Structure 1
Amino acid sequence: MDGRPGDFEPSALGTREHWDAAYECELQHFEDSGDAGEIWFGEESIRRLIGWLEKQKIPLDSCILDIGTGNGVLLVELAKSGYTDLVGIDYSPGAIQLSKKIMEKEGLPQVKLQVEDILNPSDELSGFHVCIDKGTFDAVSLNPENAAEKRKHYVKSVHRVLKSGGFFLITSCNWTREELLNEFGEGFLLLEELPTSVFCYGGKTGNNVTVLVFQKKI
């Protein structure tokens, strides 16, 4: 997935059916082997995000939302780093079922996990100090049905669930800094771009990845 907005081809990676099937397989694999599965963009991506939170001295009791949590491994590492108010959402019930089993294995019952579509968030999903996205906006961008409109819904939803002054950290392999600025420019301020190297996504490796930190405008 290394195209640009004008070049995006609709893909199964942008459909719920794809992820439901994928997490059904991941869940079976976990039950058979205990392996949590793939870490999107690799372990380095998790260290990068947590490193930024720690550098900024984000309080450990800050409410943090992982958008498109998948297997929940990012939340596991956040919890191990001392963060106590963690929520993971995914529109695939299989992903939430898998992440719940992983939390049980890791002894982390305090992590909240729920089936939610970020494009249509429930009223209860609000008041977050930090929102994190590793690849979910990329998947939204590949939806075969009106992806441009879905991207607009995504931006509005993230803006709504964040507190004023809250932070949004996004990791993307489809979008450049300038393109993400264009997508999120209304309602968000760019704080910084984080340095990156090699990542792993969808079974492939590369270094064409952008990580930006935005802040919701007050």
Structure 2
Amino acid sequence: MAGARCPPEDVDLPHPARAPPAAAADLVSDDDRSVAADSWSIKSEYGSTLDDEQRQADVLSSCNFPAPSDCSSDKDEPDDNEVEPSMLGLQSYWDNAYAEDLANFHEHGHAGEVWFGMEVMDTVASWTKNLCTSMSQHDVGDDVPKDLSSWSVLDIGTGNGLLLQELARQGFSDLTGIDYSGGAMDLARSLATRNGFASINFVVDDILDTKLEPIERQFHLVMDKGTLDAIGLHPEGPVRR
């Protein structure tokens, strides 16, 4: 789920020509709109091109942004470091994004985007493997598994689940991904089955209102690529964080 999607450098991306509704304009900066629109028009490494202008308008028009007074007290001092709310913090944005990706998968077999690019994903997976291997080889506690296949891993906001597939290639086998978008989980399961990783477990779950029972399921490693970013970009970001 959720961080800003970075477009390839060699793609000339148009800026949206359609202005957002007035209700969203006060809460979404020009830079945020540009990032969000670019994420729709990006041509992924799997060849998926998305209709940015219409999708952006649809998402914005469906947003019910609360008034600024709903997000913070009038007595609170403004935080100069606080980011502006963005559509990237809304579940409706990601539901629409993954609905499009799922349709592209069924029609063309496209996997969708590799979050932050293949090089970054490979680096994260390799670094994670090296970290866990090092901990397994040193006596850091009885709770640390002695081999990668015994590490239980939870990926929060897993999206299309491609990072978990890469971890599986690195030797991990007890892998679970959660995302609050049902479309994301449908896509992740389809991709994992197609690529030979049907054992990866994908669950629709909101980390802020999780239904995972800690007594029944515990994890040695919890990962997040951008869920905290999305939480912070919600109009109620400070409260949700």
TM-score range, shorter chain: 0.5 to 0.7
Unaligned residue ranges in structure 2 (runs of 5+):
5-30, 33-78, 137-146
The answer to whether residue 233 in structure 2 is matched with residue 139 in structure 1 is no
The answer to whether residue 195 in structure 2 is matched with residue 106 in structure 1 is yes
CA shift for structure 1 position 31: 1.1
Q: How much is the aligned-residue C-alpha RMSD, in angstroms?
A: 2.0
Please report the TM-score for the alignment, with normalisation by the length of structure 2.
0.58
8 Å Cα contact 2:115-2:121 kept in structure 1: no
The answer to whether residue 166 in structure 2 is matched with residue 77 in structure 1 is yes
My pick for the range that moved more, 11-20 or 126-135, is 126-135
Greater strand fraction, Structure 1 or Structure 2: 1
Please report the TM-score for the alignment, with normalisation by the length of structure 1.
0.64
Query: 1:19-63 CA deviation, whole Å, 9 max, x = no partner?
Result: 111110000011122111111111122222222222220531200
8 Å Cα contact 2:178-2:204 kept in structure 1: yes
Select which of 87, 91, 98 maps to 1:16: 91
Say which one has the larger Rg.
2
Aligned amino acid, residue 16 of structure 1: Q
8 Å Cα contact 2:101-2:187 kept in structure 1: yes
SS at match of 2:221: strand
8 Å Cα contact 1:40-1:135 kept in structure 2: no
Change (3 A) 1:134 1:123: closer
**1:185-196 paired onto structure 2 within 5 Å:** none
Q: State the partner residue of 2:238.
A: 148
Unaligned residue ranges in structure 1 (runs of 5+):
152-218
Give, in whole Å, the separation in 2 of the partners of 1:5 and 1:39: 32
Spell out structure 1 runs of 4+ moving beyond 2 A: 1-7, 123-126
Q: State the partner residue of 1:62.
A: 151
CA shift for structure 1 position 105: 0.5
Give, in whole Å, the separation in 2 of the partners of 1:68 and 1:94: 12
Query: 1:52-103 CA deviation, whole Å, 9 max, x = no partner?
Result: 2222205312000111010110011111222110000000000000001101
What is the aligned-residue identity percentage?
A: 42
Aligned amino acid, residue 97 of structure 1: D
**1:39-50 paired onto structure 2 within 5 Å:** 39-50=114-125
Greater helix fraction, Structure 1 or Structure 2: 2
